Amino acid sequence: MNCPCVPPIITITSTVAEAVPEEGQCVPMGPPVINSSMAETRIQRMTESVSRRLGLTVFQRVYNYLKGARERQEDEGSIRQALSSLVERPSDGFEVDQLLYYEEQLQGAREGAREGAREGAREGAREGAQ
d(CA 34, CA 42): 12
The three-state DSSP-derived secondary structure of 44-55 is HHHHHHHHHHHC
User: In this predicted structure, what is the pLDDT of residue 64?
Assistant: 96
Q: Which residue has the higher pLDDT, 125 or 51?
A: 51
Contact 100, 70 (CB under 8 A): yes
- Would you call 118 helix, strand, or coil by DSSP? helix
Q: Is 74 left (phi over 0), alpha (psi -120 to 50) or beta?
A: beta
- How confident is the model over 51-67, as a mean pLDDT? 94
Distances (CA, A) of 67 to 34, 57, 83: 21, 15, 12
pTM: 0.61
User: In this predicted structure, what is the pLDDT of residue 34?
Assistant: 62
